[in-house]
Amino acid sequence: MQTIIPLSPPVLLPIAGSLVGFPVRRVYCVGRNYAAHAIEMGHDPDREPPFFFQKNPDNLLVADRAFPYPPRTTDVHHEVELVVALKRGGADIPVEQALDCVYGYAVGIDFTRRDLQAEAKKAGKPWAAAKAFEHSAPVSEIVPVEAIGHPVNGNIWLKVNGELRQHGDLDQMIWKIPEVISELSRLFTLAPGDIIMTGTPSGVGPVVRGDTVTCGVDGVAALAVTVL
């Protein structure tokens, strides 16, 4: 069928060492997956079931690395996260089979309008305006599993203007990658092209216009973003 308006182009993430792109279908995010971050946000770090929210594929900041400071906020926070890219999906995926679904890994930033999130939390309202805004998810190139395997530990870090703000280790995740995929697949039918932002270590804080944000997961990828 022809379309009444132009089709939206697919969002493609670059793949390390490759000329082909990774087409993104959905963007899932895990909340409070590092105990130290749960504590800094005023929550109990006990192992409650993971919870999820979403960003839109076209919220990804892919091509250029300039992050325009968003409107209607004065408190945008950085959250560095390991990103998982799926080549396979399904529903009710057992933990033991979950890693078979992974194509590769990247590092990303879950930029958050913290002031709007705080208002939403207080009012019991959704987080969409706090999380799923334009350019809110810069993501690095994807590094295939065949190149690096499945990272289970390693530094995850973020600097603002060269100053270390966030630092943790992947082994501090409350819910590990296979568990995250399995739990997510009990709520949603996953599919090739889905990506998952797996939560942030402690040290989240504000950025302002002119800041240069660098971040990485050692052994996976690094990323640099300028706040406009």
Query: Residue numbers of the site for Mn ion (CB under 5 A)?
Result: 79, 110, 200
Q: Record the tokens describing residue 170, joined without a space.
A: 């992947």
- DSSP structural state of residue 170: G
Burial class (CB in 10 A: 0-12, 13-18, 19+), 171: exposed
Nearer to Mn ion, 110 or 183 (CB): 110
Nearer to Mn ion, 51 or 94 (CB): 51
Q: Which helix (H) or strand (E) element contains residue 171?
A: none
**In whole angstroms, how close is the CB of 2 to Mn ion at the nearest point?**
40
**In whole angstroms, how close is the CB of 147 to Mn ion at the nearest point?**
25
Nearer to Mn ion, 16 or 129 (CB): 129
**In whole angstroms, how close is the CB of 117 to Mn ion at the nearest point?**
10
Alpha carbon distance 157, 141 (integer Å):
17
**In whole angstroms, how close is the CB of 138 to Mn ion at the nearest point?**
13
Residue with nearest beta carbon to Mn ion: 110
Nearest CA to 86 out of 97, 98, 102, 99 is that of 102
Burial class (CB in 10 A: 0-12, 13-18, 19+), 205: middle
Nearer to Mn ion, 15 or 217 (CB): 217
